[in-house]
Structure 1
Amino acid sequence: MFNLESLVRENVLKMKPYSSARDEFKGTASIFIDANENSLGSLAGNNYNRYPDPHQRKLKEQIAAIKGMEPGQIFLGNGSDEAIDLLLRLLCRPGKDALLNLPPTYGMYEVSANLNEVRIDEVQLTPDFQIPVEQVLQAVKPETKLIFICSPNNPTGNSIQPESIEKILRNYNGMVVIDEAYIDFASTPSWTTRLKEFPNLVVLQTFSKAWGMAGLRLGLAFASEEIIAYLDKIKPPYNINEATQELALKALEQQEQLKFMVEEIVQERTLLEQTLPTLKQVLHVYPSDANFLLVKVTDANGLYKFLLDKGIVVRNRTTVPGCEGCLRISIGTLEENQELLNAITEFETQD
């Protein structure tokens, strides 16, 4: 049975969180001389001389209304990477505990684990990039505190079979983190709809992909209020700046436009999926529920360099186990995608 307190590091259970000036004051006031801010104002304008709301209340209320959950079930981070790092710090004792990784997958799970001196155990995905569930459950050890599952998966693009994830959730008593950075481009429902069913579930999402706000660095974690309370306890006090909160609220006011952008990206993805296999250089285009395609080609390194020389930057994934000979190609505009196709055709005609 899942027991959160038994997973959380003892020092975190005992620690007293930092109390900011904005935490200690409640009510209304006209003079703020409590936080050592510059009361003369900001050279950047607006109210940027003041510290932002450390709990991002307005933003969480808006997100909660859209997602159909309570604000207390939402953690906002400086990108999803902050949530990944804090989950490791929350649960894993350096040099003692472990996470279970399922490569090929997002590289920051491994980077954060190494930074926090957390052992990385691995179970390779199957050739069609699905989870070998029995192998995963057999790989779990007493010190395995977390399993990261990226769905839709990066760099492969496919969604993970929900029955596989559900079996892990029901048979593993540690934390299961489902990274849904690309969920807006998929037809499958988000796992946020099942948070009440699984107390050991954390779902990560981001404003960086479909919302087009990568430059603002705003990530989300959804979980039980108990898990979110611990993340709030250990986060930096002002981790989301005022400008990001303001612009995110502005974007949420235009959420109806999101579906049109997603539809256009998915349409362009479909066109590339259909056109790329007609090129001689392309051996296989893997199915994708994301805003990119994993493409197996005859000469990944040569094509990658040729595209760079043309000013076209893709991601070379050929050194990633399971992705040998593959390039990861983000879906661009109609014009960008056509330039890509023209460049690949030109590469094929070289002597």
Structure 2
Amino acid sequence: MFKLQELVRPNVLKMKPYSSARDEFKGSASIFIDANENNVGSLAGGTYNRYPDPHQKKLKKRIAEIKGVRPSQIFLGNGSDEAIDLLFRMLCTPGQDTMLQLPPTYGMYEVSANLNDVQLQSVQLTPDFQVPVEEVLRQVKPTTKLLFICSPNNPTGNLIEPERVEALLRNFNGVVVLDEAYIDFASEPSWITRLDEFPNLVVLQTFSKAWGMAGLRLGLAFASEEIISLLDKIKPPYNINEATQELALQALEKEEELKYMVEEIIQERELLVQALPTLEAVLKVYPSDANFLLVQVTDANRLYDHLIARGIVVRNRSSLPGCEGCLRISVGTLEENQQLLQAIREFR
């Protein structure tokens, strides 16, 4: 039986969150001399001399409308990495608790575990990059607080089968973090539609991929109101700056443009899926539900260097378990993809 209060660190349950000037004042006023801001103005122009809304109310309201959730089920972070780090700090006592990940997968789970002095457990994905549910449940310890699943998975690109995710949600009494950074490129719906069904579920998403806003560093966590309230309690008071909030609100008014961008990327992805296997250096192209492809080649190190020499940067993932001899290739524009194919065609 999942009981969040029994998982959260006792000091987190007891602590009082930082109270900012904008938290303490409710209502309207014409003169604000409460937060030690520069009331003369800002060299950046606009109202950037004022601290941003610490609770991102307007932005959360708009996201809630688009995603079909309640604003109280949304946490906004400085990239998804902030939400990952705060989940460790919220749940895991350093030097005592444990997290479980499923390599090959996104490297920040391990970095955050090491940073927070949390013991790392790893259960490798199956040869077709699915979760071995029974083995995961066998490896769970009483101290295992967090389980990270990336779907679509980075660097393999595939969705994790829903029945496997559900089996873990129903049988693991810790928090299951489902990282959906690439979900906009997939054919399956997001797990945010089932938040109310699973109180131990946290879904991570981002504005960095489909929305094309990687430079703004805006990540999202969707979860129960209880989990979100704890994340809000321990976050820095002004973690999302005013410019990011403004630009994100502007972007959210362009849902139709988002659809066209995603369709273009998927179309280019499928063209690469067809073209890459015809090249002599390519051994296998793995199925992808993301905006990148995992490609097994004859000599990953030499091909990587060959592409670098031609001004094309891909990611060499051949050192990861299960990804031997593989490059991860992001889907580019039509012109970029044609240059990539030509460069690989010239490789000997």
Query: TM above 0.5, one fold?
Result: yes
Q: Does 1:332 align with 2:339?
A: no
Q: How many aligned positions are there?
A: 348
- Aligned positions of 1:335-346 closer than 5 A: 335-346=335-346
Question: What residue identity is the alignment partner of 1:219?
Answer: G
Question: What residue identity is the alignment partner of 2:13?
Answer: L
Superposed displacement of residue 255, structure 1: 1.3
SS of corresponding position for 1:313: coil
Deviation track 1:252-311 (CA, whole Å, cap 9, x = no partner) reads 011111110000000000000000000000000000000000000001000101111111
- Aligned positions of 1:32-181 closer than 5 A: 32-181=32-181
Deviation track 1:79-114 (CA, whole Å, cap 9, x = no partner) reads 000000000000000000000010000000000000
Counterpart Cα distance in 2 of 1:46 and 1:180: 34
Counterpart Cα distance in 2 of 1:132 and 1:172: 14
Counterpart Cα distance in 2 of 1:15 and 1:253: 38
Question: What residue identity is the alignment partner of 2:151?
Answer: S
Which 4+ runs in 1 deviate beyond 4 A? none
Counterpart Cα distance in 2 of 1:214 and 1:200: 28
Q: Does 1:276 align with 2:276?
A: yes
Q: Does 1:310 align with 2:315?
A: no
Counterpart Cα distance in 2 of 1:186 and 1:285: 17
Counterpart Cα distance in 2 of 1:272 and 1:130: 23
Q: Report the TM-score when normalising by structure 1.
A: 0.99
What are structure 2's unaligned runs of at least 5 residues?
none
Q: Report the TM-score when normalising by structure 2.
A: 1.00
Q: Does 1:18 align with 2:6?
A: no
SS of corresponding position for 1:266: helix
Q: Percent sequence identity over matched residues?
A: 78
SS of corresponding position for 2:130: coil
Question: What residue identity is the alignment partner of 1:4?
Answer: L
SS of corresponding position for 2:347: helix
Root-mean-square deviation (CA, aligned residues, Å) is 0.4
Deviation track 1:50-88 (CA, whole Å, cap 9, x = no partner) reads 000000000000000111111000000000000000000
Question: What residue identity is the alignment partner of 1:308?
Answer: I
Partner of 2:194: 194
SS of corresponding position for 2:129: coil
Question: What residue identity is the alignment partner of 1:94?
Answer: P
Superposed displacement of residue 347, structure 1: 1.2
Partner of 1:242: 242
Counterpart Cα distance in 2 of 1:227 and 1:54: 18
SS of corresponding position for 1:178: strand
